[in-house]
Amino acid sequence: MSVKTTKTKKTTKRKTLVIVESPAKAKTIEKYLGPSYKVKASMGHLIDLPKSRLAIDVENNFEPEYITVRGRAKLLKELQADAKKSDEVLLASDNDREGEAIAWHLQKAIAAKNGSIPIARISFNEITPQAIKAAVAAPTTIDDAKVNAQKARRVLDRLVGYNLSPLLWKKVKNGLSAGRVQSVALRLICEREKEIEAFTPEEYWTLEADFKTGKTAFAASLVSWEGEKAQLHTKADAQKIIDAIKDAVFTVSGIKETDKTLRPRPPFTTSQLQQTAANRLNFTSKKTMQVAQQLYEGVSIGGAPIGLITYMRTDSVRISQVALDEVRDWIGGNYPAELPEKAAVYTSGKQAQDAHEAIRPTYVKYTPDDIKDKLTRDQFRLYSIIWERFVASQMKPAQTRTLSADIEALAAVFRISGTNIVEQGYFKVLKVLAVKEDSGKTFPPLQKDAVVKLERFNPEQHFTQGSARFTDAGIVKTLEEKGIGRPSTYAPTISVLLDRGYVTRSNKQLVPSVLGKLICDMLVEHFGDVVNADFTAGMETGLDEVEGSARSWPDLIRDFYDPFKVRVEEVGKKLESVKGTLDEKTDQVCEKCGSPMVKKLGRYGYFLACSGFPECRNTKSIPLAKCPKCGGDIIARRGNGKKFYGCVNYPECDFLTRFPPLVDQSCPKCGWFMVEKYDKRNGSHKACINPDCNYLHSSD
C-alpha cells in the first residue's frame, strides 16, 4: 500500500520595510534593526519635476506636475513590490525639507499600489543603535508643512530658472542658466572682483629693529613717531627716522602685562564646518559635505558599521542632554581639572531653523586617535575637527598672558610683545584645530629703564591690499550672514557656478569668468531686484514661514511670480540680442586653412576660432600681452600638466612666466605688462613683470 504524501505550503515571514536615502545608510541601519527589518535605499528623489518643460500650472495655484525621474522607474517598482510583501513601511529619509518631500512622494507611490499597507515616517539625528531603535518605536506622520516648503522652493526655483534661462539662450548664448540663489552668489563674487580691479595699491613702509640684551637677541617694530602712530609712506620716511635715532640710546620705557580669557567656540553648524574645513584642511565645500556624509552614514568600527557624527546639515548649535552628559563624563574622566561646574549652553542665530542638533560625534569615546586606522585620511581629518570642536565646547576656557615692552629712542617708540598660555583649558584637546599662537611666544628678559643695544634697522616696503576674492569659506560665510540659502544649499550653489563655467578656482579663490561677468551684468541690469541679496533672503524667510504653517505656499509664489513674469516679457521685447556681437572678426589668419580667425566667447573666456568652422576646427588662445623680449604675443600655454604664459615665438624666444597677465594693463614706470601674483602672505596682488622695475614689488 502506497502512502500519499502532502506538501505543506511554505509561508514567507513578512518584515517591516524601512526606506532610507542612501545604500551606505541602509547597510548600517539594517544591522542595527535585525532580521525582522528590511532596509532599502531610494537613492534620493524618485519622483520630481520633469527636466524638459516648466511643468508648473501657473493658472491653477502653481500646482507642480511630478513624474518618475528618468531611469528610476525600476527602483520605484522594486520598492513598491517590497512594500507589498511587508507588514508595514517606515519612511526614513533625511529629516529636512528634501527628505520630507522624498518621504511624501514615496508614501503616495506605495499607497497607490498597496493602499492597505500602513505607512509611517521616522526620523533621527544620528545613526546609532539607540537613535534608530527609538525612532522605530515612535513613528510619526509626514509633516505636510515641511513638504509644502520644499514644494514652494522647488516651484520658485523652476519658475526663475525656466523664465530667465531661455532669455539668456535667446539674447546671449545657448546653454546658459540662471537661478534664484546661484545668480545672487555670482553677483557677490563679480562685485568683489570689480572692487579688486578698481583698487589701486599704495606704497607704505614698516620699520623693525634688531636689539640685544645680554645674550638675548630680539626684534621690535616701530609703533609711534613724535607722539603719533607711525605712518611711513616712502623709503625716505623710514630713512629719516633711522637717521634721527641711529646714534640714540634705546631704553625700555615700560612693560605691560595683559591677561585674556579665551572661551571655546560652540560645536559646528554646517556653514562653520565648511568654513573651518576650507581654512584648516583645504577642503572645498563639496568635499566637506561628501566626507561628512560618509561619517554620518557609517564607518566600519570593530567589524560593525557605526555612524560617527550627527546629521551634517544644520544651522543649530543645540546639543541633546544625553550628548552633554556623555561628553561631561568623558572630560571628567580624562581632563577632570578642565570640567566646568555646569554645561555650556550656546545660542543659535535668529535665522536658525533649529531642526537638528549641532554637528557632533555620536560617541565621544571614539577619539580620533583611537579610530584613525579605521578611517581614510580625509575622514580622519574631518572627524578630528568635529570631535575636537565638540569636546572643547564643554571644557573650561583657556587663559593667556601677553607681555609687551616699549623701547624708546628720542621721539621713536618700538614695541615687542609675546603671549604665553597660563591655563590651557580646552586647548588640551586641540590638535588639528590648534593654532600657532596657542604654543606661546618667548619674551626677552627685559627690565623697565634698562638700556638695550641696537643691532640694525630693517626697513621693509609693502603695498596696501584691496579686498580679497571669495574662497569657499568666504562665500559660505557671506551667504549665511545675508540669510541667502540654507545649510543644504551652500555647497551645491558653489558647485553650480563652477560647473556652468561662470566661476573658476585659482589658489582656492573663486574668480568670475568673462562669461560669468557678462551674465551677471545682464541680470543685474534687467532683474536687479531678483538677483538681490535682500530679496533672496526675504524669500528664504518666506519659505520658513511656509514650513511653520504661517503662510500659504501658493500665496508666496504668486506674490513673486506675477510681477516677475511681466518683467520677463518686457525685457524679452526690449533687450537686444548680443549673440552676434560676442564673435569679433580679427586680422589673424588660420594657419591651417587661410580663413580669418574670429574671437569667440567660450565657457572659460575668449578664444580664437577659425571662421571656416565646421570644416576647419582650428582654435587658438587669445594674445594676453606683448612679449617684452621680442614683441610677440604672450598666450596661455601648458607643459608638464601646469599652466604658464609664454611667447608664441618659442623656441626662438624663451620668455615665460607663471603669473597670469592682466589684460590691457601696462606698467606706468617701464611699459612691461602687469601680472597677478599670489603668495600666502599677501594673497593675490598686482605687480610689474619686469624684475628690474620696482612698481608694486614688495621687498620681500
Q: How far is CA 418 from CA 168, 262, 454, 496, in A?
A: 57, 16, 20, 45
Taking the C-alpha atoms of 234, 237, 238 and 243 in order, what is their torsion angle to the nearest 10 degrees?
Answer: 150
Q: Is 311 a catalytic residue?
A: yes
Contact between 454 and 209 (Cβ < 8 Å): yes
Q: Which residue has the cell 527609538?
A: 134
Cα–Cα distance measured from residue 599 to residue 606, given in angstroms and rounded to the nearest whole number: 7
All cell numbers assigned to 364: 565621544
Could you tell me which residues are beta bridge partners of residue 458? Answer: 208
Amino acid at 256: K
Helices marked H in 621-700: none
Sign of the C-alpha dihedral computed for residues 449, 455, 456 and 458 taken in this order: negative
Q: Which long-range contacts (CB under 8 A, 24 or more apart) does 59-67 make?
A: 61/554, 62/155, 62/159, 62/554, 62/557, 62/558, 62/561, 64/151, 64/154, 64/155, 64/158, 66/105
Burial of 362 (0-12, 13-18, 19+ CB in 10 A): buried
Backbone torsion region of residue 451, taken as left when φ is above 0, otherwise alpha when ψ lies between -120 and 50, otherwise beta: beta
Cα–Cα distance measured from residue 529 to residue 112, given in angstroms and rounded to the nearest whole number: 43
Q: Which residue has the cell 623680449?
A: 629
Contacts of 283 (CB under 8 A, 6+ apart): 274, 277, 291, 378, 382
Sign of the C-alpha dihedral computed for residues 478, 481, 484 and 488 taken in this order: positive
DSSP E strands, 392-539: 398-409, 412-423, 451-463, 503-506, 509-512
All cell numbers assigned to 63: 500646482
Chain center to CA of 478: 10
Contact between 169 and 158 (Cβ < 8 Å): no
DSSP state of 74: H
Helices marked H in 12-57: 23-33
Burial of 91 (0-12, 13-18, 19+ CB in 10 A): buried
Contact between 232 and 205 (Cβ < 8 Å): yes
Q: Is 115 helix (H, G, I), strand (E, B) or coil?
A: coil
Among residues 32, 296, 311, 363, the one annotated as catalytic is 311
Query: Which sequence positions are flagged as catalytic?
Result: 311
